[in-house]
Chain A
């Protein structure tokens, strides 16, 4: 089953800085909810392991993450597909666009996702909410990561 969501977030950082962090393995790893490992395979490919619980289904996901449509520093598409073993599969992506605004950067995103197997069978009522929560969490984490540290 498919779902879509979108949103935007104002970041207190320059566009080049945001773009660099969007391509940085450590930042992504810290921001993806439940991410245990994120290994860079090439400039545009990563292997990830993340534990995610949606409704009654909890699974450790092995996913391939790819970056495409790279248009520095305007945005890219980040997509992934993961197998959660008997829990099923999830695949999806987000188109991320960066624009200069009010001295910072406005990041807008369009997320699309497909799920299947037991996850769709059991969790489909909850998965929209869970996916939205995860996306919100990711972008909130990311906003924190690119914000200047508070003055000491």
Chain B
């Protein structure tokens, strides 16, 4: 391993500009003649818009335009879409309601845009927005997914009777029922997977600029996938043809999924920029982000697991109601279906699985993919069932897991996925050693002496990354292919630009992608730059989400590097006057096998461009190769997280006192970056388990709409993590990469709740396990103990 090659903990190249304040985020950009836009948003969860009086606002200083949903409709701007078609069990298509970028006749959630003001300054736009008078007819609202399908619930969209988007299922219901009949033990759980607000550090932003001379538009946008944004905005919303729209995603400060989606705001900026013929800028405020960015999770589930007399799992069944909010966001339909039910087999050999999912509209902010997207929900269901089952059957939870682990690969689950490689016992064993599970009983006694309850919880999770084989996802309803592209441009001086369709917004691609190139071509990492996030530079790409950039994005780069090497060998054969078959490439040098004739990589690059040594008829000059890599399978990162907590019985305060994570991510390019990804994921999962809860009141008002009420995890909520890896290579891609971006957030909520319930001796605790909730659960336990005595 070289100091900058694959496997080296190279410091992140991009951090210099970030930590010295030299990053270029969307808000750092100012275009000549720029105007500012402010969104007037509905304060009501559900209300008919009777009339909008913009006359006073139009007369305010600096106002350029006041635009409404009626103007948008008059200009025939198309609806926003959800790009993954799900079919109900009765064969009917999902009920996708229109989603205008500005509500025209009815507002469907608090925060739904109803008008915009464009003005010379941000302050003027905000002042004028105060003067827009909207006459609302307030309608009853529904926010609870479990109540959305009731006959008495208010109807949100005409196309979706009973607010039901789809009633989907997966698996063999009859076989599952038969398996349950033969069970010795059945574990049953009711689970609420709490709604989360993503909270990326950089709020969303957009600048749109119209070039009247070329009739083209440019959008600078905080997006995780600029090409997908351009495709949707041109092909569905119809703002401009694809070749007349450039989307640039400059530095982006975190996404966690929330910046995948194509939102109303960027569409409105583009439309308004052409209308006023001036650049239009929007930067979300934090309070605005709470009601304008897609939320995550929000499942209500009943789940059951059937065991035989030996603790072997016979079957699993689950019924989930998924809240998709007021509109179907870009990929929302896929999250509670193909990203959720397909992972319900966990790391276990489960012969039969059946899952039903009803997706519903409510008068809340739309819900879509958020770090893990469906897989944290699945892991929570499976890992809670296994843990509770073990306790009920009085089997050690680690032992029960071991008895049921998948041990032979490939393994076809009953829910589509074919696991190709893994060693689940290896990560469990290593994690148990690192966490000193043997010493837990002693630590528990010590805690008890201090008046505290100590608990230990496992989460042996699996996830599907490497999203995704295009044919496979196409057959499941995806509207796009999920391959990735790369282009490797070798300059005449031997430096290299790598163009990728992935987009980095915190992942460190500029370092890891460069490591792969440096390793392969034997050139210094400083001589490699990674270009991404601009539809005029990179031809096409699918962006970054679903922990796909390593497994899919790097694989595309490797394929392009293969082609570069092949072409360079041809150039080298002319330069070294040898047969092409005799040229070997080692340590950055082209050699003629069995001789001492060598040419450095840089010499070959130069000769490829000056083209003096070969005829243009025989060989094209230049050294630039591209690749579209389509994976042949998902990848399956998996591992074991062990959480240890101490509960203060007087206050209900939970302290996470130890955390051990042993993950199998396949080949690791940069262990330091991977560890950072694990840290962040665990912090988010602990946030979900202990702190974060998005609360709507029954009127549909978001009452946890700021950091005064929505609790984000902080350093003092977390211990120092022990993070290690095990390695089985993913057989489906050239380097064997599996992906690491979401694992922490997927594994951790179940580990925390398993630890807390272990400490308390009751399974009745919901996320977030706030001190109040834990204290109440403790009182209940104490009362039933007293009653028993």
| Chain B positions 670-705 with a Cβ under 8 Å from a chain A Cβ | 697, 699, 701-703, 705
- In the complex, B208 has a CB within 8 A of chain A: no
Residue from A62, A115, A117, A125 with most neighbouring chain B CB atoms (10 Å): A117
Q: Contact between A125 and B708 (Cβ–Cβ < 8 Å)?
A: yes
- In the complex, A104 has a CB within 8 A of chain B: no
| Chain A positions 114-131 with a Cβ under 8 Å from a chain B Cβ | 114-122, 124-125
Cβ–Cβ < 8 Å partners of A83 in chain B = 43, 133-134
A62-86 near B? 1/0 per residue, CB < 8 Å? 1000000000000000000001011
Nearest residue in A to B135 (C-beta to C-beta)?
A: A83
Q: Contact between A85 and B131 (Cβ–Cβ < 8 Å)?
A: yes
Minimum distance in angstroms from A29 CB to a CB of chain B? 22
Among B44, B131, B706, contact of A89 (Cβ-Cβ < 8 Å): B44
| Chain B positions 266-316 with a Cβ under 8 Å from a chain A Cβ | 287, 290-291
- With A85-B130, A86-B129 as known contacts, state yes or no: A118 contacts B43, CB within 8 Å: yes
Cβ–Cβ < 8 Å partners of B110 in chain A = 116-117, 120-121
Q: Contact between B708 and A120 (Cβ–Cβ < 8 Å)?
A: no
The answer for the CA separation of A114 and B700 in the assembled complex, in Å, is: 12
Among A59, A86, A121, A125, contact of B702 (Cβ-Cβ < 8 Å): A121
The answer for the CA separation of A122 and B330 in the assembled complex, in Å, is: 28
Among A2, A114, A115, A122, contact of B287 (Cβ-Cβ < 8 Å): A122
Cβ–Cβ < 8 Å partners of A119 in chain B = 43
Minimum distance in angstroms from A23 CB to a CB of chain B? 28
Q: Contact between B701 and A116 (Cβ–Cβ < 8 Å)?
A: yes
- In the complex, A5 has a CB within 8 A of chain B: no
The answer for the CA separation of A100 and B131 in the assembled complex, in Å, is: 46
- In the complex, B14 has a CB within 8 A of chain A: no
The answer for the CA separation of A124 and B131 in the assembled complex, in Å, is: 24
| Chain B positions 191-230 with a Cβ under 8 Å from a chain A Cβ | none
Q: Contact between B699 and A121 (Cβ–Cβ < 8 Å)?
A: no
- With A121-B287, A121-B291 as known contacts, state yes or no: A85 contacts B132, CB within 8 Å: yes
A105-147 near B? 1/0 per residue, CB < 8 Å? 0000000001111111110110000000000000000000000
Minimum distance in angstroms from A49 CB to a CB of chain B? 13
- In the complex, B559 has a CB within 8 A of chain A: no
Minimum distance in angstroms from B49 CB to a CB of chain A? 13
Q: Contact between A86 and B130 (Cβ–Cβ < 8 Å)?
A: yes
- In the complex, B401 has a CB within 8 A of chain A: no
Q: Contact between A122 and B44 (Cβ–Cβ < 8 Å)?
A: no
B127-145 near A? 1/0 per residue, CB < 8 Å? 0011111100000000000
Minimum distance in angstroms from A1 CB to a CB of chain B? 4
Nearest residue in B to A81 (C-beta to C-beta)?
A: B138
Cβ–Cβ < 8 Å partners of B702 in chain A = 120-121
Q: Contact between A116 and B708 (Cβ–Cβ < 8 Å)?
A: no
Q: Contact between A1 and B44 (Cβ–Cβ < 8 Å)?
A: no
- In the complex, B542 has a CB within 8 A of chain A: no
- In the complex, B41 has a CB within 8 A of chain A: yes
Q: Contact between A121 and B290 (Cβ–Cβ < 8 Å)?
A: yes
Interface contacts (Cβ under 8 Å), in number, total 68
| Chain A positions 43-68 with a Cβ under 8 Å from a chain B Cβ | 59-60, 62
Among B134, B291, B699, contact of A114 (Cβ-Cβ < 8 Å): B699
Q: Contact between A122 and B701 (Cβ–Cβ < 8 Å)?
A: no
Q: Contact between B708 and A88 (Cβ–Cβ < 8 Å)?
A: no
The answer for the CA separation of A122 and B708 in the assembled complex, in Å, is: 8
Q: Contact between B699 and A116 (Cβ–Cβ < 8 Å)?
A: yes
| Chain B positions 689-739 with a Cβ under 8 Å from a chain A Cβ | 697, 699, 701-703, 705-706, 708-709
Dominant secondary structure at the A interface: mixed
The answer for the CA separation of A59 and B43 in the assembled complex, in Å, is: 14
Q: Contact between B129 and A118 (Cβ–Cβ < 8 Å)?
A: no
- With A1-B699, A2-B699 as known contacts, state yes or no: A117 contacts B43, CB within 8 Å: yes
The answer for the CA separation of A77 and B210 in the assembled complex, in Å, is: 55
B35-48 near A? 1/0 per residue, CB < 8 Å? 00000111111000
Nearest residue in B to A115 (C-beta to C-beta)?
A: B701
Cβ–Cβ < 8 Å partners of A1 in chain B = 697, 699, 701, 703
Among A85, A89, A114, A120, contact of B129 (Cβ-Cβ < 8 Å): A85
The answer for the CA separation of A115 and B43 in the assembled complex, in Å, is: 9
The answer for the CA separation of A54 and B554 in the assembled complex, in Å, is: 52
Nearest residue in A to B42 (C-beta to C-beta)?
A: A117
B634-646 near A? 1/0 per residue, CB < 8 Å? 0000000000000
Cβ–Cβ < 8 Å partners of B133 in chain A = 62, 83
Cβ–Cβ < 8 Å partners of A117 in chain B = 41-44, 110, 701
The answer for the CA separation of A119 and B683 in the assembled complex, in Å, is: 30
The answer for the CA separation of A125 and B703 in the assembled complex, in Å, is: 9
Minimum distance in angstroms from B272 CB to a CB of chain A? 18
Nearest residue in B to A89 (C-beta to C-beta)?
A: B43
Nearest residue in A to B39 (C-beta to C-beta)?
A: A86
Nearest residue in B to A57 (C-beta to C-beta)?
A: B287
The answer for the CA separation of A119 and B699 in the assembled complex, in Å, is: 14
Cβ–Cβ < 8 Å partners of B697 in chain A = 1-2, 120
Nearest residue in B to A91 (C-beta to C-beta)?
A: B138
Cβ–Cβ < 8 Å partners of A114 in chain B = 699
The answer for the CA separation of A75 and B169 in the assembled complex, in Å, is: 59
The answer for the CA separation of A70 and B72 in the assembled complex, in Å, is: 46
Minimum distance in angstroms from A25 CB to a CB of chain B? 24
The answer for the CA separation of A8 and B573 in the assembled complex, in Å, is: 100
Minimum distance in angstroms from B698 CB to a CB of chain A? 8
Minimum distance in angstroms from A10 CB to a CB of chain B? 35
The answer for the CA separation of A89 and B290 in the assembled complex, in Å, is: 18
Cβ–Cβ < 8 Å partners of A116 in chain B = 43-45, 110, 699, 701
Q: Contact between A121 and B705 (Cβ–Cβ < 8 Å)?
A: yes
Residue from B41, B291, B701 with most neighbouring chain A CB atoms (10 Å): B701
Cβ–Cβ < 8 Å partners of A85 in chain B = 129-132
Cβ–Cβ < 8 Å partners of A121 in chain B = 110, 287, 290-291, 701-703, 705-706
| Chain B positions 22-56 with a Cβ under 8 Å from a chain A Cβ | 40-45
The answer for the CA separation of A109 and B703 in the assembled complex, in Å, is: 27
The answer for the CA separation of A139 and B110 in the assembled complex, in Å, is: 33
Among B40, B41, B706, contact of A122 (Cβ-Cβ < 8 Å): B706
Minimum distance in angstroms from B480 CB to a CB of chain A? 35
Cβ–Cβ < 8 Å partners of A122 in chain B = 287, 705-706, 708
Cβ–Cβ < 8 Å partners of A88 in chain B = 43
Cβ–Cβ < 8 Å partners of A87 in chain B = 43
Q: What are 28 A-B pairs at a CB distance below 8 A?
A: A1-B697, A2-B697, A59-B130, A62-B133, A83-B43, A83-B134, A85-B129, A87-B43, A88-B43, A115-B701, A116-B44, A116-B110, A116-B699, A116-B701, A117-B44, A117-B110, A117-B701, A118-B287, A118-B705, A119-B43, A120-B697, A120-B703, A120-B705, A121-B287, A121-B701, A121-B705, A122-B705, A125-B709
A1-B701, A116-B45 known; 15 other A-B pairs, CB under 8 Å? Answer: A60-B130, A62-B133, A87-B43, A116-B43, A116-B701, A117-B43, A118-B43, A118-B287, A120-B110, A120-B702, A120-B703, A121-B110, A121-B290, A122-B706, A124-B701
**8 closest cross-chain pairs (CB), A and B:** A117-B43, A121-B705, A120-B701, A88-B43, A85-B130, A1-B697, A116-B43, A124-B703
